[in-house]
Structure 1
């Protein structure tokens, strides 16, 4: 399941630099509880929790803040410090209260009057896992996926493809030499469902321009038994001269 949240037109990437934005942080934002457990409110009513992680996929961006309501998701309650959340950084799964939650991506350098780079509402369902992605380049947006973390079949792994390169055309994704694609005709911000794949060998994966059939990127990857992965396409296809922004891929291990 893929949902695109609300867009925001504030596009001054030159302002993306480190700062000291502070949210009111509560304990639920740290660590990962098993989803079979419950949290309780003041009335002692039990609630099954949700869990959420995040990826900064905005090419070249320095560390950002990401919040759920007034809670800072990139905050480690154990160390008492903010977690780095620059381009390609991922945050681990953390607890999230179920229900409608306001998600905001902010530039910490603009504290205390930070205008959201992007914001929107996500409905977290009890017992479900989610990934948030900050995406775009000149226009920053938020994307959310529901993550199916049910175990793969015996001796298998699961793999999913998501297109997060803001200037790339619609893409296909598959194994070199195999006609059946893992993902077909995925535009920017679109994700495929999880596919099952055999383990025990190294695959050559191709990222292909859907309209022309040209291979735009190739890489090798050896999935491991019982693991779940998201392959995300990153960077700028038309990048010139900045290796940090090169078109390519990243791997999220769930």
Structure 2
């Protein structure tokens, strides 16, 4: 699977939202004979349990053109030229940088960058998704990331099964993508690793073969059920096509 782009009227620091299987081409015909450049692909997730409205920047480009970058928001995959790019956040509509980080991206690789934690502990947490090295088969593939700042180590499992998809994941720990039998109306359970108590669930989901699912724990464990920053789990997916 290649992520590539013909050089043209596209920013050198930021390309745009892309599907992971797309090969880009510029609009101008004079670039048709140029050798395509293989890109990196980056998903951005706001996983910091905070109610503040932010702007997210990739290089010098603001990604969230239409609305604020809020807790729980996700952009991806974004295409970027290989090399070092800066990611940063500001308060919505302001220019002062709250947090920035230079990230190194390799051509043809897939990454996920999460904004995590709050206040002085706020940080960017980036992982290589390694989707380029995983063969698509008849299974769904699921991984788990614990991004709840105050949660104890957690497990992820399908309800009614004896084997965990992921085990003993502390804050900012994550599992590799694991083969899971596809199915409908499934329930994923996030459990306290020590007590095996179910802390939250994702009910009535459909896991499809050939799709990659990321489940991430979010929020604070002691928040009230009605609080938007309460502890819960969220799932998103991406489909790869050979």
**Shorter-chain TM-score tier:** 0.7 to 0.9
Counterpart of 2:231 in structure 1 is 247
Please, what is the CA RMSD of the aligned residues? 2.6
The 1:223/1:46 distance shift into structure 2, 3 A limit, reads closer
- For structure 1, the 5+ residue unaligned runs are 1-24, 75-80
The 1:217/1:177 distance shift into structure 2, 3 A limit, reads same
Which residue, 229, 239, 242 being the options, matches 2:213? 229
2:48–2:117 contact (8 Å) kept in structure 1: yes
Counterpart of 1:144 in structure 2 is 126
**2:109 maps to 1:128:** yes
Higher relative contact order (CA 8 A, sep 6+): 1
Q: How does 1:149-164 map to 2 (within 5 A)?
A: 149=131, 150=134, 152-154=136-138, 156-164=139-147
Which residue, 51, 54, 59 being the options, matches 1:64? 54
Q: What are the superposed Cα offsets for residues 57-116 of structure 1, whole Å, 9 maximum, x if unpaired?
A: 122334322222323233xxxxxx34442111111211111112222122224x23x132
Q: Normalization by structure 2: what TM-score? A: 0.79
**Other structure's SS at 1:232 match:** strand
Q: How does 1:105-120 map to 2 (within 5 A)?
A: 105-109=89-93, 111-112=94-95, 114-116=96-98, 118-120=99-101
The 1:203/1:209 distance shift into structure 2, 3 A limit, reads same
Rounded Cα–Cα distance in structure 1 between residues aligned with 2:151 and 2:143: 18
**2:26 maps to 1:26:** no
